[in-house]
Amino acid sequence: MIKLPFSRIFPFLFILVSISIDSVPLDPDQKVYQPGETFVEDFIRIDFPEKALVRTESRKRWRAVPLKDKPWLAIWRKLDRVGEETLGTKVLEAVFPGATPEKFSISRTEILRWSKEDNSGGNPLQLYFFLLRKDDKAYTFYIAFYKERQDLKEWFSNPNRYLNPQ
């Protein structure tokens, strides 16, 4: 067994201990968003209910999770091929057979929303699926959160609070 002197290990331990979860991620595809800080992409502006880590999974797909307790998850994707939003609508209709989406508009952006309750690992979840269209651009959103969290239900059930199309 090789023994290293403590004086050689201590600097590395100090560096590891001094790095906290509040620090900026080293991965350039990740960014921590503080409450009130807004993610912006095209006509989409997303405010998160609490401090969240947003990871860019590709140039057209993002995922956000809170840094504390993980009670929610948001995934959104830009649809930029002709007809892709129609395909997205058909997929969502297959996930929600017989369910008609809520349809409304905010700032000239057409919004379709499906909602569903589900269980994952024994945890009751509330799920929202969105399709947003404005001019020739479209996005899909998937949001899941613990059903018992009334604060999250209030936040995510009102698109004006976290989706602010311009």
Residue 135: domain span: 37-162
The number of domains in the chain is 1
Secondary structure of the chain in HEC code, one letter for each residue: CCCCCHHHHHHHHHHHHHCCCCCCCCCCCEEEECCCCEEEECCEEEECCCCEEEEEEECCEEEEEECCCCCEEEEEEEECCCCHHHHHHHHHHHHCCCCCCEEEEECCEEEEEEEEEEEECCEEEEEEEEEEEECCEEEEEEEEEECCCHHHHHHHHCHHHHCCCC
- Residue 48 within any structural domain of the chain: yes
In a domain, 116, yes or no: yes
User: Quick check: is 56 in a domain?
Assistant: yes
Q: pLDDT of 8-34, one tens digit each?
A: 554 444 444 444 444 545 677 899 999
6 within a domain of the structure (yes/no): no
Q: Is 71 part of any domain? A: yes
The domain that holds 58 is classified in CATH as 3.40.1000.10
Q: What is the pLDDT of residues 107-164, one digit of tens each?
A: 888 888 998 888 888 889 999 998 888 888 888 889 999 999 999 999 888 887 767 6
> Is residue 2 in some structural domain?
no
117 within a domain of the structure (yes/no): yes
User: How does residue 166 score in pLDDT terms, banded at 50, 70 and 90?
Assistant: low
